[in-house]
Amino acid sequence: MAGAGRTWVTHAGLLIGVLVFAFPIYLALIASTWDASTIGRGALPLYPGPDAWKNYSRIWSSGEVGRFGSVPVATMMGNSLIMALAIAIGKIAISIISAYAVVFFRFPLRMLCFWMIFLTLMLPVEVRIIPTYQVVVDLGLFDTRFGLVVPLIASATATLLFRQFFLTIPDELTEAAKIDGAGPVRFFIDIVLPLSRTNIAALFVILFIFGWNQYLWPLLITKSRALETVVIGITKMIGTGDAQSEWNLIMATAVLALLPPVIVVLTMQRWFVKGLVDQEK
């Protein structure tokens, strides 16, 4: 009987955890289905209201939320998607080729290059925000997609991860490929890339979330609202956060803003867990 009691307590504990995580999102979902005045009165019920379609279709195509208006959420979502994909693919692409160079070649300055990449671990963007901002402005990249994405795609962690994995590829495989007459490019495309599939998938999930959730960098680097991402857009909608804001629309935007990365985590859970745990190594 003691065992059954303990099981019950375990379930209860886990359920509390699940509820604490889910409740804020449930509330956002509910709020996005009512009208602004119901919420503004402080009378939000805990069950869905009738205005879901009205709210979501309004924010999706028209940009009239908040005091100064905004771009349509569809545009923001597009911007976030482009940024997240560009960051994820860009980071993976330049990291995998630089790890390949460091592992499969010997050349002067090899270790210097490796250590320079490694050192960027100690220079996160938050630490060097203002000088990096100045560099971007000086190069004429301010308020461009290029300036938004490129400074973020250098990655020490991804390079180290691929390097670690490449070191486990047996020498015999490389030897055999060389005997068959394969050059470095052929070997990379036919052998290394297919072998790296799971690592790439795992990294992609993590980096997509990283890219989608960027806040400080887009806040500094973009000015025109046409480039606004949804995470930036939603905080602009809040303004000073008074009760008269159109909270139904803000919450609908919040739901849309968190949906893509959450779906990626839930549908690619296996890769997500692998990607997270790999970064520790």
Partner 1 sequence: MHKRVIFNNRLLPYLLLLPQMMITLVFFFWPAFEAIRQSVLLQDAFGLRSEFVGFENFAHILNDPNYLTAMGVTIVFSATVTLLAMVPALLLAVLADSGIRGASLYKTLLIWPYAVAPAVAAVLWLFMAHPSIGIIGKALNAAGIAWNYQINGGQALTLVILASAWKQISYNFLFFLAGLQSIPKSVIEAAKIDGARPVRRFFTIILPLLSPTTFFLLVVNLVYAFFDTFGVIDALTKGGPGTSTVTLIYRVYIDGNHNLNLGSSSAQSVILMVIVIALTVIQFRFIEKKVHY
- Do the beta carbons of residue 75 and residue 226 sit within 8 Å? yes
By beta-carbon proximity to partner 1, the closer residue of 100 and 204 is: 100
**Closest CB 69 distance from partner 1, rounded Å:** 19
205 Cβ contact list (under 8 Å, min separation 6): 264, 265, 268, 271, 272, 275
- Do the beta carbons of residue 207 and residue 91 sit within 8 Å? yes
**Closest CB 2 distance from partner 1, rounded Å:** 11
By beta-carbon proximity to partner 1, the closer residue of 199 and 247 is: 247
CA geometry: angle 251, 266, 276, nearest 5 deg: 110
Structure tokens at 62: 């028209």
Phi, psi of 168 (to 5 degrees): -90, -10
By beta-carbon proximity to partner 1, the closer residue of 61 and 186 is: 186
- Do the beta carbons of residue 91 and residue 158 sit within 8 Å? yes
**Closest CB 154 distance from partner 1, rounded Å:** 4
**Closest CB 258 distance from partner 1, rounded Å:** 5
CA 228 – CA 46 distance, rounded (Å): 32
By beta-carbon proximity to partner 1, the closer residue of 81 and 219 is: 219
By beta-carbon proximity to partner 1, the closer residue of 81 and 154 is: 154
Rounded (10°) CA dihedral 239, 241, 242, 248: 90
**Closest CB 179 distance from partner 1, rounded Å:** 10
**Closest CB 63 distance from partner 1, rounded Å:** 18
